[in-house]
Chains A and B, each alone.
Chain A
Amino acid sequence: MSDGNSERKFKQVGSRPIRHDGLDKVTGRARFGADYTLPGTLQGVFVRSPHAHARILSIDTSKAEKLPGVRAVITADDFPNVPMKWIPSGPTGIDFGASSRTVMAREKVLFHGHAFAAVAAATREIAEEAGKLIEVEFEVLKPVLSIEEALAPDAPILHEGQEVQGAGDKPEGDSNITNQVLFEGGELDAGFAEADVVVEGLFETPMVHQGYIEPHACLANAREDGTIEVWASTQGAFGVKSEIASISGADPNSIKVTPTEIGGGFGGKIPVYLEPAAVLLSRKAGRPVKMTMTREEVFRGTGPTSGSRMWARIGAKADGTFVAAETRLEFESGAFRGSPVGAACMTILTPYEIPNFRIFGLEVVLNKPRVAAYRAPGAPIGAFAAESLIDELARKLNRDPVDLRLQNAIEEGGRAKYGPPFGPIGFKQTLEAVKAHPHYKQELGPNQGRGVAAGFWFNAGMQSSATVSVNDDGSAIVRTGNPDIGGSRASMALMAAEELGIDVTRVRPIVGDTDSVGYCDATGGSRVTYATGMAVIEATRQVVDHLRARAATIWNIELDSVEWQDGNAVAINGSAEKGSMSIEEIAKQNRMTGGPVVASASVNPPAAGPGFGVHVCDLEVDPETGTTRVLRYTVAQDAGKAIHPTYVEGQYQGGAAQGIGWALNEEYLWDEEGRVENAGFLDYRVPVASDLPMIDTIIVEVANPLHPYGVRGVGETPIVPPLGTVANAMRDATGVRFHRLPMSPPRVLDAIESAGDPSKD
């Protein structure tokens, strides 16, 4: 459904009410995944592989089972053997066999920390003790720990017999390549022949983690009648339900999943790591089982995003017109296939009109944790390479970096590199907004530099349901199934309040479990305000029609003589003398006029209009220590229509902060055995409050015609530009072009000291 109208004057939408769940969150009452318990709950703990790559020859759990306090021990034998099968859906698709083996290793352990058994016991300590009593025979294999090693002709093969998905010439025989992507247009060689200037570079980014502060947690209770109830910290309860069913073999209709409050996800809490094991432990033990990860387990055993190697070149004419581009992206997928290399190929350089291009990417499996989605998966990585090269072009052509982008910016009707044309988009508007912002005109001092970069994300549609009902005092309840990670409940209430014409404090939004609400796809993909919001609006409009009909009944007039205005039924035309009736007055008579007023709606809309963003960063580098201080940071991004501007700004600032951390400090550090060396927040250094300045935000609104209010998803785009933005600012401050992330103090110091050779880090 779409109104496509950007002229509407909103009364509630666009305001900044206090979020409905806020009180519980500032008083510690809100319950997250680890805050639930039932009488008799046992602690469940995984036993994890000490090897990065090994065949499992035998597992003997008998001693562990005998330890007093141990109630159940499980291994892969307790799980159905789900075959590995790639189901293409999205740039990453899904493979239940791989998901199953991620939860519990079968045949092989494929990364250090890979779980191969689990124990449920009275306490965590007992369960861990029992884990040590499990006797495993491993055939240790040589691990594959880098893209280079994975691609080497004599590389150990992680999965024999796997088909390479995708395009391009496939390798012969077994290989660690699991997917290839190719987009082409125009005539590449002719394009480069036209170019007056060509920039080229090789770039590397490390594996990084989403860094959510709440570790994974769940409570599972397999009941005597075969039904299963689960409380899980998750981005999507319906997804958890399906994954539990397919991985543990349970009948999906016997499972109820309640999403708890969730302490951050960013894509990393869409896959399941605990729940199927907790369910099987619970069944075996006959007691509820709680499983929570330690921070160390989060780093070793969940789903970071890919490290990468990227080569790219861009050619332009002397007047600044881009004429040709070529890329080769290599992404780590971790232990199983499913990296975001596809999305990286779709987004890299798509913001620009480039008539001749060849975008190629591949992914390899290697002995690291299987990657999961991380906020606009793949796009920040590709943008690092593309935006760094565009910055180099701007320098070579002596052009302002914003102007060069404006000249080549894609507009409505322009073609994405993956084929289709864009609808209305706000790329040029965000570039103009940055240019006009006072930040862009600030003076810079010694050792200071400024960088600009751009990016976008598509924003998913997918399935959502909503139910809206009116209480007999005229207040309303809105029920959906999307866990609230960033304030979305408040936006649902605002949209319902807008349609009903009542104050948002009179609307209560709730997030339901899988039995209580209609199906909703996960909170992610920047889709909730767009798609679930659409379902809420549709359901509320039906409620409004019911209310009009009730008023018509009370007044004894025709339905089309009743309008709805600002929370009141208003009699019009021939019946105008009836006047108006408030929602409270109508609701009081619900029983008399036909019963409760309730309506539901469900949607599966097309992908939301893409949201473009442009960032500016000023930073200062200390030439003696290599440390970087971010002085100023501004985010301009097209939100279509900001339902709750505070939470839109929050997404801009949060995504920028993650990108800054990725650019300056974050990386997984590995030893030669494939063990993560920095599996904690002390040495995996995310930004802290003293690292960052205030982050200015500019909300651009170019209405998305696919949504009744013009909404575009905003959650993911903010993390796409920062890697390039900060790298370009570093180039400006130090004279050095960094090709490798992170630009941490030792690397910066090293680069400054060997400056004079701009092709080196």
Chain B
Amino acid sequence: MAKIRVEATINGEEVEFLCVGQESLLEALRDGLGMTGTKEGCTTGDCGACSIVLDGRLVPSCLVLAAEADGRTVETIEGVAEGTKLTPVQQQFLEHGALQCGVCTPGFIVAAEKLLETNPDPTEEEARYYLAGNLCRCTGYDKIIKAVLEAAAVMRETRA
């Protein structure tokens, strides 16, 4: 089985890896590259735990073939913080206690960062609908939404 060579920019770095045809980008990231921050919850695109950003678009990496990443940019949870500096979303998740078991958290943070990039002042409803593709079974979403809205406020304040 000949492997496919993929060159992609992952979290700002040029990365080269090999994959087989039917491998998902999720598998390539986790098993091939050891980047286990992105989680597998369902492999059918229903839970959002595998959320990444591909060429600026929020996607479930379990439904993207690894080979499709060739020549593209990939952003994962590992690239969200800048060194040791957490983003407002990450910081607010900690302060609001917006995680209990934490397995859905990487997916939520990647999705929330994207939400606030496209809509810096979402209403509660807009935030809920944007994040409806990320399942959480522990929190009931209350503190997650509060954290996201607070992060949005912090970010608007910083820009002002």
Contacts and interface: CB of A to CB of B under 8 A. Distances in A.
Contact of B93 (A26, A30, A649): A26
Chain B contact residues: helix, strand, loop or mixed: loop
Interface string B33-76: 00111111111101101000000000000000000000000001
B38 A28 contact: yes
A28 B37 contact: yes
A681 B137 CA distance: 12
Contacts, number: 180
Given A26-B105, A650-B97, A654-B140, A686 B135 contact: yes
B86 interface: yes
Contact of A653 (B44, B104, B135, B143): B143
Interface of A: 16, 18-19, 21-23, 25-32, 34-35, 37, 125, 210-215, 261-266, 292, 294-295, 485-487, 646-647, 649-650, 653-654, 656-658, 680-682, 686-692, 694-695
B137 A213 contact: yes
A292 B77 CA distance: 22
Contacts of A18: 94-95
Contacts of A266: 137
Nearest to B143: A650
B94 A486 contact: no
Nearest to B136: A213
B142 A487 contact: no
Given A688-B132, A689-B144, A213 B41 contact: yes
B81 interface: yes
Q: Which of A28, A262, A647 has the most CB of B within 10 A?
A: A28
A45 to B, nearest CB: 14
A239 B84 CA distance: 37
Given A487-B97, A681-B42, A692-B141, 10 more contacts: A26-B94, A31-B36, A213-B137, A295-B41, A646-B97, A650-B143, A681-B44, A687-B140, A689-B141, A694-B142
- Which 9 A/B pairs are nearest by Cβ-Cβ distance? A28-B37, A263-B103, A657-B140, A25-B102, A646-B97, A28-B77, A653-B140, A681-B46, A35-B36
A630 B124 CA distance: 15
B102 A688 contact: no
A25 B93 CA distance: 10
Q: Specify which of B93, B104, B141 lies most central, judged by the most chain A CB atoms within 10 Å of its CB.
A: B141
B100 interface: yes
B94 A264 contact: no
A266 B101 CA distance: 11
Contacts of B80: 27-28
Interface residues of B, number: 58
A689 B145 contact: yes
B148 to A, nearest CB: 10
Contact of A681 (B77, B109, B135, B139): B135
Contact of B97 (A19, A28, A656): A19
B94 to A, nearest CB: 5
Tell me whether chain A's interface is mostly helix, strand or loop, or mixed: loop
A264 B138 contact: yes
Given A213-B49, A485-B100, A654 B137 contact: yes
Interface in B1-45: 22, 30-31, 35-44
A686 B139 CA distance: 13
- Central interface residue in B109, B124, B138, by most chain A CB within 10 Å: B138
Contact of B81 (A16, A27, A695): A27
A656 to B, nearest CB: 6
B100 A650 contact: yes
Nearest to B40: A34
11 contacts: A28-B76, A210-B137, A215-B40, A261-B102, A263-B39, A263-B103, A264-B103, A656-B140, A681-B42, A687-B141, A692-B140
Contacts of B37: 27-29
B140 A294 contact: no
A266 B143 CA distance: 19
A28 B104 CA distance: 10
A487 B136 CA distance: 15
Contacts of A695: 140, 142
Given A26-B93, A263-B101, A487-B100, A654 B139 contact: yes
B147 to A, nearest CB: 10
Nearest to A233: B103
Contacts of A694: 124, 142, 145-146
A349 to B, nearest CB: 27
Contact of A295 (B44, B90, B127): B44
B145 to A, nearest CB: 7
Contacts of B114: none
Given A18-B95, A695-B142, A26 B86 contact: yes
Contacts of B95: 18
Contacts of A215: 40-41
B155 interface: no
Interface of B: 22, 30-31, 35-44, 46-47, 49, 76-78, 80-81, 86, 90, 93-97, 99-106, 109, 124-125, 127-129, 131-146
B127 to A, nearest CB: 8
A298 to B, nearest CB: 9
A630 to B, nearest CB: 11
A486 B140 contact: no
Contacts of A295: 41-44, 46-47
B140 A28 contact: no
Contact of A27 (B90, B133, B142): B90
B76 to A, nearest CB: 7
A658 B137 contact: yes
Most buried by B among A31, A263, A646, A680: A263
A642 to B, nearest CB: 12
Contact of B134 (A31, A34, A125, A689): A689
A28 B141 contact: no
Nearest to A680: B44
B44 A486 contact: no
A689 B41 contact: no
A213 B86 contact: no
A620 to B, nearest CB: 15
A486 B101 contact: yes
A386 B65 CA distance: 51
B77 A682 contact: no
Contacts of A212: 101, 137
Contacts of B141: 653, 657, 687-689, 692
Contacts of B142: 653, 692, 694-695
A689 B103 contact: no
Given A650-B97, A686-B137, A294 B103 contact: no
B43 to A, nearest CB: 6
A185 B96 CA distance: 47
Contact of A647 (B100, B106, B133, B146): B100
Given A26-B105, A214-B41, A682-B44, A486 B138 contact: yes
B36 A28 contact: yes
Contacts of A16: 97
Contacts of B77: 27-28
Contact of B94 (A19, A29, A657, A690): A19
A27 B106 CA distance: 7
B82 to A, nearest CB: 11
B57 to A, nearest CB: 20
Given A27-B77, A487-B97, A654 B103 contact: no
Nearest to A263: B103
Nearest to A123: B20
A653 B38 CA distance: 25
A35 to B, nearest CB: 4
A485 B139 CA distance: 11
A294 B103 CA distance: 16
A665 to B, nearest CB: 13
A31 B39 CA distance: 10
Contact of B39 (A32, A647, A689): A32
Given A486-B138, A689-B144, A213 B128 contact: no
